[in-house]
Amino acid sequence: MSNKKKLLRYADLGKYKNVFEPDFVNSSDPFSLKGFWAERHFENTNPITLELACGKGDYTVKLAALNPDRNFIGIDIKGDRLWHGASQVERMNLINTAFLRIDINYLRSYFAESEIEEIWITFPDPQRKSKQQKKRLTNPRYLEIYREILVAYGKVHLKTDDEGLFEYTLATVSSEGCELMEEIRDIYAKAELRKELKIKTYYEDKYLQDNRPIHYLSFQFPS
């Protein structure tokens, strides 16, 4: 995509009421929706699900369409990517969906303790080099952030085509004392699959065309 087109989408992003781009450069005030996302933005008391590094928001949008009794927030740092999800949500009139343009490292600045019920991590950058392990979204330092904002029974879901990241996450979940709830290797080899796992992103379709198996796991933190 050309830089000009990206800039146009950045500018266009501001018109969507379902997109939040916090700017604390000139303000020391805390984020107003922290602890009050359901009541103040969604205007309900439904549980909240986050999709981290959501990209174009494919999974966020489709999860929201499948679950109108839940609230969904897609998070990514790239505004031109979020533009796709935001425009799709507006066309579909999905009132249970929002997008937040922030760095995932600062999740605790935007969500209160025990405010989130579920987290989805779909096809994140596997950060294959050993020195990049701390950047993996299932690294212990990230898990500590998730633990704080999730309710006690909250789940983390990972869907990936990368065998190395999948094995790394299984090992991390075990070493951190988390409870592995479900583990499915090559999910499309199963005869039956939950509707949430049948959702395909743009990149997932490409991976499947290349005959790359897709793996899934979910886990909970210890009480």
What residues are labeled active site? 125
Strands 215-220 and 116-122: unpaired
* Residue 177 structure tokens: 């004392």
Strands 97-101 and 19-20: parallel
Residue 115: other Cβ atoms inside 10 A? 21
Bridge partners, 107 (sequence order):
none
Residue 36: other Cβ atoms inside 10 A? 13
How far apart CA 48 and CA 37 sit, in angstroms, is 8
Contacts of 117 (CB under 8 A, 6+ apart): 47, 48, 49, 70, 150, 151, 154, 155
